[in-house]
Chain A
Amino acid sequence: MTVLIDAENLTKKFGDITAVEDLTFHVEEGEIFGFLGPNGAGKTTTIRMLCCLISKTSGSARIAGYEIGNKIDSLKIRKIIGLVPDNVGLSEHLSAYDNLDFYGRIYDCTDTQRKESIQRFLEMLGLWEKRNFLAGTFSKGMKQKLAIARALIHDPQILFLDEPTVNLDPESAKTVREFILDLKKQKKTIFLNTHNLDEAQRICDKIGILNTKLRAIGTSQELEQSVSGRKTVIVLEQVNDVILSTLKKLLLRNLTSDGNKITFDVVDPDKENSAVVEAIVLAGGHVRTINVVGSTLEDAYLKLVRT
């Protein structure tokens, strides 16, 4: 597989503030790479550096072999990428068609290419009937779709999407996610910023968890497994103080009780759970069910962004 995005120790500082530090990762052709992180983690800054919108402070990154920060390469990079920023940034006083046509002209698409692409994308996204409406009259979901169409008008190799489903209703978000998956089928390489764990899990081949530094990188499964320990959930007929004080004496990790449910972290469930059940029974408790659950991406995310 060809590596299309290759970052090495990429760092950006704004004065004394470090926005992102020592990012090292690569994205292969046809891959959907998700950057997960809280607000202010440096996701947008990373996209802006990779799209040659802002300079890097140190480190390096290559997009399809072109070096970011190099003036000549920057223009070449901007020819082969498409960007959907977090604020869609449409010209509200232009029609949907004119918004796309303008970008097609900027990218030197011929009249025929522009006409074909505009019709194809607007039809795919269900906006063809509204092509002559001003973009300012569109709903958030429609604007988001139009912004995606705009980023694809020149058939870019790599698409950068910054929070593409934020503030969208569930139906619009689903349409956008399905469209992103369609693009993957067309072998587009997609770099997706999101703080939606479910979205990352559903559509990304690889996920990077970012909080100024890259905390972890891997598939959703790999990240889940990277968080050590699993949880045991025991449902009792009734939880009382005697049972709780008995369990506390066992020094269980992250012991919590909620109604008649007790949850705690375990490393070796086979050994640890039998001792816990025995203690509960001796304290007069009646066990209904025992379940061992693995870590979720959410667990991994929360643990990693807090470190």
Chain B
Amino acid sequence: MRLSKAWIIASRDFKIFRHQKNIWYSIIVVPLIISIIFPLILEFAGRRTGGIPVAQLPPLLNSFSFFFVIAAVFIPISIASYSIVGEKIEKSLEPLLATPITDGEILFGKTLSALLPVLASLYVGASIFMVLVDEVTFHKLGYYYFPNWSIGVILVILVPIAVTLSVEFSVIVSSRVNDVRSANSYGILMLLPLGGIYLAGELGLISLDTTNLFIISGIFLALDVILFFVSTAAFRREEILTKWK
């Protein structure tokens, strides 16, 4: 695996993304909404009745933080789907596969092109989120809630794992469909289990504390490994040229 080759693929994709408004919207808008909407909810929810009780704030903030994991799965779907289905539509993979580059280098390049902008946007969004949340909760809690171990685990461990999972899933889906919209629709299925975890957290069925976040990270990592083998099998050049729809 030559990282330089993967980087050439990724940087070409970045150039292509410059012309894709949909990708820009999802990269910029989704983290921005999370980072602004939740602090606003905290500021205005239950204002007449004295606001959200202090005891409920930590689990609620942990649940809100989990939205960055959901975004980490959601945003790469559109990028990876476009990146791979777009190549299928333009039939630009065949000449690329005829060059001295390996399938793994192409796939890793595609992963980087989805991973890096998403991580950058989520980290910027999370920074805004933490500052605003601290701003609106400090007077109640008496301390700055963020940064803490939970958001650290989310941003440093869970988000990169979730982005990778999403890219791998998108590769598998993209090998079976012929348009970006279908790829996106299938990709949305990935959000269901995450939505379930978030709801369970909101309903108090599980606590999204550091320990549970580590467990979720472990499960995601295991899924990452499984999907890595499935996606690399789907991304073999002979498969691409003869079996991809």
Q: How far is the CB of A124 from chain B (nearest CB, A)?
A: 19
Give chain A residues whose Cβ lies under 8 Å from the Cβ of B102: 75
User: Helix, strand, loop or mixed for chain B's interface?
Assistant: helix
Q: B95 interface residue, CB < 8 Å from A?
A: yes
Could you pull out 30 A-B pairs where Cβ atoms are within 8 angstroms?
A: A51-B98, A53-B98, A53-B237, A53-B238, A53-B241, A54-B237, A54-B238, A54-B242, A76-B100, A78-B99, A78-B100, A81-B98, A82-B98, A83-B95, A83-B98, A85-B95, A88-B91, A89-B93, A89-B94, A91-B16, A91-B92, A93-B15, A94-B15, A94-B16, A102-B8, A106-B8, A107-B99, A134-B19, A150-B95, A160-B98
Q: B5 interface residue, CB < 8 Å from A?
A: yes
Contact with B along A34-68 (1 / 0, CB 8 A): 00000000000000100111110000000000000
Q: B101 interface residue, CB < 8 Å from A?
A: yes
Q: A264 interface residue, CB < 8 Å from B?
A: no
Distance in angstroms between the alpha carbons of A238 and B1 in the assembled complex: 77
A89-B90 contact, Cβ under 8 Å, with A78-B98, A150-B95: yes
Q: A120 interface residue, CB < 8 Å from B?
A: no
Distance in angstroms between the alpha carbons of A99 and B5 in the assembled complex: 16
Give chain B residues whose Cβ lies under 8 Å from the Cβ of A93: 15-16, 19-20
Interface positions of B from 193 to 245, Cβ below 8 Å from A: 237-238, 241-242
| Cross-chain pair count, CB within 8 angstroms | 77
Chain B interface (Cβ within 8 Å of chain A)? 5, 8, 12, 15-16, 19-20, 90-102, 237-238, 241-242
Give chain A residues whose Cβ lies under 8 Å from the Cβ of B15: 93-94, 98
Interface range, A side: 35 or more
Q: How far is the CB of B82 from chain A (nearest CB, A)?
A: 10
Give chain B residues whose Cβ lies under 8 Å from the Cβ of A91: 12, 16, 90, 92
Q: A87 interface residue, CB < 8 Å from B?
A: yes
Whether A107 contacts B98 by the Cβ 8 Å rule is no
Q: How far is the CB of B3 from chain A (nearest CB, A)?
A: 14
Whether B91 contacts A55 by the Cβ 8 Å rule is no
Give chain B residues whose Cβ lies under 8 Å from the Cβ of A55: 238
Minimal Cβ-Cβ distance residue in A for B240: A53
Interface positions of A from 260 to 296, Cβ below 8 Å from B: none
Whether B241 contacts A48 by the Cβ 8 Å rule is yes
Interface positions of A from 125 to 153, Cβ below 8 Å from B: 134, 147, 150-151
Q: How far is the CB of A178 from chain B (nearest CB, A)?
A: 23
Whether A87 contacts B94 by the Cβ 8 Å rule is yes
Whether B91 contacts A85 by the Cβ 8 Å rule is yes
Give chain B residues whose Cβ lies under 8 Å from the Cβ of A79: 100
Give chain B residues whose Cβ lies under 8 Å from the Cβ of A8: none
A53-B97 contact, Cβ under 8 Å, with A93-B16, A102-B12: yes
Minimal Cβ-Cβ distance residue in A for B98: A83
Distance in angstroms between the alpha carbons of A269 and B99 in the assembled complex: 55
Q: How far is the CB of A260 from chain B (nearest CB, A)?
A: 51
Candidates A85, A107, A151; contact of B100 at CB < 8 Å: A107
Q: A103 interface residue, CB < 8 Å from B?
A: yes
Distance in angstroms between the alpha carbons of A85 and B95 in the assembled complex: 7
Distance in angstroms between the alpha carbons of A243 and B91 in the assembled complex: 59
Minimal Cβ-Cβ distance residue in A for B95: A89
Give chain A residues whose Cβ lies under 8 Å from the Cβ of B92: 89-91
Closest 7 CB pairs of A and B: A87-B91, A83-B98, A89-B92, A78-B100, A89-B91, A93-B19, A85-B94
Q: A92 interface residue, CB < 8 Å from B?
A: yes
Give chain B residues whose Cβ lies under 8 Å from the Cβ of A54: 237-238, 241-242
Minimal Cβ-Cβ distance residue in B for A74: B100
Distance in angstroms between the alpha carbons of A273 and B94 in the assembled complex: 55
Q: How far is the CB of B36 from chain A (nearest CB, A)?
A: 31
Give chain B residues whose Cβ lies under 8 Å from the Cβ of A78: 98-100
Q: How far is the CB of B143 from chain A (nearest CB, A)?
A: 49
Distance in angstroms between the alpha carbons of A150 and B93 in the assembled complex: 14
Give chain A residues whose Cβ lies under 8 Å from the Cβ of B98: 51-53, 78, 81-83, 85, 160
Distance in angstroms between the alpha carbons of A102 and B101 in the assembled complex: 13
Give chain B residues whose Cβ lies under 8 Å from the Cβ of A87: 91, 94
Minimal Cβ-Cβ distance residue in B for A102: B12
Give chain B residues whose Cβ lies under 8 Å from the Cβ of A107: 99-100
Q: How far is the CB of A96 from chain B (nearest CB, A)?
A: 13
Minimal Cβ-Cβ distance residue in B for A75: B100
